[in-house]
Amino acid sequence: MGTKALKKFTLAEMKDKYIGTVGTKARDEYEYELRMDVLGKMIKAARQERKLTQEELGRLVGVQKAQISKLESSANSATIDTIIRVFKALKADIHFSVKLEDNFVELT
């Protein structure tokens, strides 16, 4: 009995197959949710680095603890203004990068 080699797939190939190709609605939604999840984790890590509770950060930002909790679990419900206020309260720099076709625009 011979062994059959398993075919290897890249992450991009798996996403194309199971989520949708780049530019499709399903893929765009997936990528957006992923970025928002990462942003929430960054906020949580920065808060913990500053040794703040969610309640303390909420007071600095002017929101309830529950909103900080939601933001950390997924930032997709937050406005850009709230995200900027959170990072300012954490004394953290935040940079936005926008790609317009082949050109990048950076906001700091």
> Residues 6 or more apart from 52 whose CB is under 8 A from it?
60, 90
pTM here is 0.70
Q: Give residue 81's pLDDT.
A: 87
pLDDT for position 2:
63
CATH numbers and ranges of domains, the chain: 11-107 (1.10.260.40)
Mean pLDDT by 10 residues, the chain (108 residues): 80 91 89 87 94 96 93 82 91 77 61
* Confidence at residue 103, expressed as pLDDT on a 0 to 100 scale: 65
Cα dihedral sign, 103-79-95-16: negative
